[in-house]
């Protein structure tokens, strides 16, 4: 799947199951998990783009627990827990599980305290980006546990041209901006907050990797003067960004797999051995396997091509 996504209102905090878990969930709850496939995805920023992705580092977690009394109060009973016979202090899995599982009235009280405190403090100091995000999210999703959970996730800010890939079992949420989104074909989503939709808390808490630290930002690799390639660390797809100057032309060599082209801006022509099509903003075209595609521009044209990961095609 390859689409343009414009985010005005923050989307839900969610994670996508890996292939094995997706098959299990589909058999167990086919009305909720409608297919047995996983859903790795990648977002390429068209504008400044903000997202939550992955859990904050251990050092940042300590700061949150020390500096945000409203969260510390809620999860205090989970600050020491036992896993695999080992007692761990300030264990992320315990903290997140406790937070995401608490009663709605507890969330209501904690959020009221947090919002009131930040509103007061905003009159005497500059709030951090995360604190400003809390106030924004609480207006969009009042009394939602995801507002508190956002403090445990990395706030990632992408510049146009930056890419962010999201693997299986990793929490994330798109907050605002426009991007090209590419993902495997699946509708399987396990939600964690910022949503009125169904949240499968038990599945969510058991499936996450709980990996901590900032995610990798992809900058792309130049293929030629017009094309930059973004290759995530999974086999389903890769994406080429193509910006052709007015009067310019570029050839996409024939590949063993199919491709989908989406025109973001400008006007031009797309030529194959069997067709010649004028294209402009909003057009999408499918290129079968083994098809060479030439893109030429009348005015500067920006095109994205999504196809099967080249590494897979070269190493069957």
Q: Cβ of 166: how many Cβ atoms within 10 Å?
A: 25
Q: What is the pLDDT of residues 163-190, one digit of tens each?
A: 999 989 999 999 999 999 998 888 899 9
Q: Note the pLDDT of residue 155.
A: 98
Backbone angle region of 282, left / alpha / beta, with phi > 0 → left and psi within -120 to 50 → alpha? left
Dmax over CA atoms of the chain, in Å, equals 67
- Say whether pLDDT at 15 is over 90: yes
Q: What is the pLDDT of residues 113-166, one digit of tens each?
A: 999 999 999 999 999 999 999 999 999 999 999 999 999 999 999 999 999 999
CA 54/CA 194 separation, integer angstroms: 16
| Residue 178: alpha-carbon gap to chain centroid | 12
**DSSP, res 152:** G
CA 146/CA 138 separation, integer angstroms: 9
Q: What is the pLDDT of residues 274-310, one digit of tens each?
A: 889 899 999 999 999 999 999 999 889 999 999 887 6
Q: Note the pLDDT of residue 303.
A: 96
Q: Note the pLDDT of residue 184.
A: 84
Catalytic residue chosen out of the listed positions 191, 228, 229, 305: 191
Q: Note the pLDDT of residue 259.
A: 92
Non-local (6+) Cβ contacts of 126 within 8 A are none
Q: What is the pLDDT of residues 198-232, one digit of tens each?
A: 889 999 999 999 999 999 999 999 999 999 999 99
In this prediction, residue 312 has a pLDDT band, given cuts at 50, 70 and 90, of low
Top CATH class, 221-314: mainly beta
| Residue 102: alpha-carbon gap to chain centroid | 25
Q: What is the pLDDT of residues 59-99, one digit of tens each?
A: 999 999 999 999 988 887 544 444 443 334 468 999 999 99
b/e burial code for range 114-148 (CB count within 10 A of at least 16 → b): bbeebeeeeeeeeeeebbebbeebbeebeebbbbb
pTM check: above 0.85? yes
Report whether 184 contacts 237 (CB < 8 A).
yes
Non-local (6+) Cβ contacts of 63 within 8 A are none
In this prediction, residue 314 has a pLDDT band, given cuts at 50, 70 and 90, of low
- Say whether pLDDT at 273 is over 90: no
Q: Note the pLDDT of residue 79.
A: 42
Average of per-residue pLDDT across 99-117: 93
Annotated catalytic residue 104: no
* Domain span(s) for CATH 1.10.441.10 in the chain: 2-218
Report whether 234 contacts 218 (CB < 8 A).
no
b/e burial code for range 74-93 (CB count within 10 A of at least 16 → b): bbeebeebeeeeeeeeebbb
- φ, ψ for residue 67 (rounded to 5)? -105, -10
Q: Which helix (H) or strand (E) holds 155?
A: strand 153-158
Top CATH class, 2-218: mainly alpha
Encoded tokens for 29? 């709850």
Q: Note the pLDDT of residue 2.
A: 64
Q: Note the pLDDT of residue 313.
A: 53
CA 235/CA 253 separation, integer angstroms: 20
Q: Of 96, 101, 215, nearest to 152 (Cα)?
A: 96
Q: Note the pLDDT of residue 86.
A: 37
**DSSP, res 291:** -
* Domain span(s) for CATH 2.60.120.10 in the chain: 221-314
Angle between helices 92-101 and 58-67 (to 10 degrees): 50
């Amino acid at each position: 799947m390859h689409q343009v996504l414009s985010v005005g209102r923050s989307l839900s905090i969610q994670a996508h199951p890996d292939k094995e878990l997706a098959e299990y969930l589909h058999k167990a709850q086919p009305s909720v998990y409608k297919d047995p496939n996983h859903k790795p995805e990648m977002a390429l920023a068209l504008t400044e783009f903000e997202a939550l992705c992955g859990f904050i580092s251990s050092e940042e977690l300590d700061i949150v627990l020390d500096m945000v009394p409203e969260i510390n109060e809620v999860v205090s009973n989970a600050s020491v827990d036992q896993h695999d016979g080992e007692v761990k202090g300030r264990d992320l899995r315990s903290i997140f599980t406790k937070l995401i599982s608490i009663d709605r009235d507890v969330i209501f009280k904690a959020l009221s305290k947090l919002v009131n405190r930040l509103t007061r403090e905003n009159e005497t100091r500059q709030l951090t980006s995360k604190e400003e995000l809390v106030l924004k999210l609480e207006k969009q999703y009042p009394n939602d546990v995801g507002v508190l959970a956002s403090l445990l996730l990395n706030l990632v800010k992408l510049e146009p041209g930056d890419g962010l890939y999201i693997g299986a079992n990793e929490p994330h949420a798109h907050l605002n901006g426009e991007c090209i989104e590419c993902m495997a074909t699946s509708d399987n989503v396990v939600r964690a907050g910022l949503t009125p939709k169904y949240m499968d808390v038990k599945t969510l808490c058991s499936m996450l990797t709980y990996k901590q630290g900032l995610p990798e930002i992809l900058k792309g690799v130049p293929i030629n003067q017009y094309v930059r390639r973004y290759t995530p660390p999974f086999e389903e797809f890769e994406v080429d960004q193509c910006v052709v100057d007015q009067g310019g032309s570029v050839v996409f060599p024939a590949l063993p797999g199919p491709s989908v082209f989406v025109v973001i801006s400008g006007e031009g022509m797309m030529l194959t051995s069997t067709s010649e099509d004028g294209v402009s903003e909003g057009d999408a075209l499918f290129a079968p396997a083994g098809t060479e595609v030439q893109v030429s521009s009348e005015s500067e044209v920006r095109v994205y091509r999504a196809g099967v990961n080249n590494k897979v095609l070269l190493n069957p």
